A = this chain, B = another copy of it.
Amino acid sequence: MELQIAAAKIPKYALRESGDTLEMIERPHGGLSFVLVDGQHTGRGAKQVSNLVARKVVALLAEGVRDGAAARAAHDYLYTAYDGKVSAELHIVSIDLVSETIVISRNSHCPALVGDARSLRALDDASAPIGVHRRMKPIITEVPLTRHTTVVVFTDGVWDAGARDGQKFDVAAFVAEKLREANVGAPQLADAILARAIELDRGRPNDDTSVLVVRAVPRVGSDNVRRLNVRFPID
């Protein structure tokens, strides 16, 4: 088996910098964690907030701190740093090779999607952002790391795409349909979700828009090589 992970990210229209931050870190006992943070508002201020939260979370995960504890710590840190006045939405998706599960931690009003070609469910239990309430707890879901399992998380640029024009993006229906295509890869799925969100916003993303896809697939080729590819457009 192999895991394919793909992320795609674009700033709100006419902004240079996205207020969303995505970071990846290796887990000390095996596996990888992905942290996707949407800072309150947009632009430079949002970026500073999401950067601060993401780096706090990855630093803790890298030291072996569990996902729930890392999310709580990031909350406390943000709450202290900005006196409870600035919020952030936080998603952590971990591939935990010890428990052989994918762990999804949500502090976001955006659902996460989990499923395969036959069925897809939305993880949409009510969940508060971090940074603004005295207490908070992340909503944590653990799913077995089995072949064809796919996890999709995204920020509200995807969730609210098209809302301006009254044709809100039905992300779950879109993903369910894509997963019925044999051999859809994580990069293709992430790109398709982002492209559809941008299309619904008539080519001008109404918010910072990010999507992360984690997909377990049968081994493609026999090699044991780990690969990382990044595309980073600059002016």
Contact = CB atoms under 8 A, between A and B. Distances in A.
Nearest to A50: B26
Interface string A57-95: 011001100000000000000000000000000000001
Contacts of A3: 230-234
A235 B223 CA distance: 12
Number of copies: 2
A167 interface: no
A118 interface: no
A1 interface: yes
A226 B232 contact: yes
A185 to B, nearest CB: 9
A28 interface: yes
A48 B63 CA distance: 11
Contacts of A2: 231-234
Nearest to A59: B59
A32 interface: yes
Interface stretch (A17-25, A124-132, A136-144, A148-156): A17-25
A78 to B, nearest CB: 15
A114 interface: no
